Amino acid sequence: MSQYLYLVRHGEHLDAEHGVSDGPLSPRGRRQAELLAARLGGVPLTNAWYAPSRSATETAQILSGLLPAVDPKPSALLFDCVPSGMTPDTPKAFESWFAAVTPAEVEAGRAQMADAISEFFVPGGHDRHDLLITHNFVIAWFVRHAMDAPNWRWLGLNQSHCGLTVIRVRPGRPPVLVAHNDLAHLPFELRTGLPETSPV
């Protein structure tokens, strides 16, 4: 039997273009969430969780309002975090970015993501379709894990606001990346969130 993880980055929040890390959804972010709900309308979602940040919470509220069968629950394991630090094989282009990250932040992020993998990558005896509304780095770490890539490889794996990533998990087999940052449900003007200058 298979478990499908539908990983979604929250909708765009107000002042996101100015580097603000969280806040209420912008009108564009609300529309992104509405279109994502339409995209997921035919998926037999089994469970749903969201990061307790404001942007992810409001995204979850929009989805549950448009998908009555979805009853999302908060999970602190889905908060944004830095899941690893510089390693000997990390490209030097990322050194300046990591200069602003403390060892305590890296350790907390590493522990959080280890718990998140144990919590959410759990295929059982029947098919499951689980929705996780979270943040960019969390999805990047899940994709890195699915591909069994080096720890640093979450860097540069970016997701747009309300982009859809799907991972299939089966007992005794490696995870399969079914789709990454799928934006088919969003018109061009709503495809926001990818960095333009940062190496991350």
Nearest C-alpha neighbor of 141 from the set 121, 162, 171: 121
**pLDDT the model gives residue 123:** 83
Q: What pLDDT is stored for residue 139 in this prediction? A: 98
Question: Running DSSP on this structure, what letter comes out for residue 93?
Answer: G
What is the model's pLDDT at position 200? 46
d(C-alpha 36, C-alpha 79), whole Å = 20
pLDDT of residue 17: 62
The residues spanned by each domain of the chain are 3-167+181-190
Q: What is the mean pLDDT of each run of 10 residues along the chain (200 residues)?
A: 95 77 90 98 95 97 94 97 95 94 97 97 88 98 97 96 97 95 97 70
Q: Domain 3-167+181-190 carries which CATH code?
A: 3.40.50.1240
- Which helix (H) or strand (E) segment holds residue 116: the answer is helix 103-120
The CB-side HSE value for 50 (13 A sphere, CA atoms) comes to 22
Say if CB 139 and CB 194 are below 8 A apart.
no
pLDDT of residue 65: 96
The pLDDT of residue 197: 47
The one-letter amino acid at 143: V
Rounded to whole angstroms, the Cα distance separating 158 from 139 reads 8
Quick one: 97 exposed, middle or buried, by C-beta within 10 A (0-12, 13-18, 19+)? Answer: middle
Q: Are 24 and 62 in contact (CB under 8 A)?
A: no
pLDDT score, position 15:
79
Q: How would you label 16-55 residue by residue, b for 16+ Cβ within 10 Å and e otherwise? A: beeeeebbebbebbbbbbbbbbebbeeeebbebbbbebeb
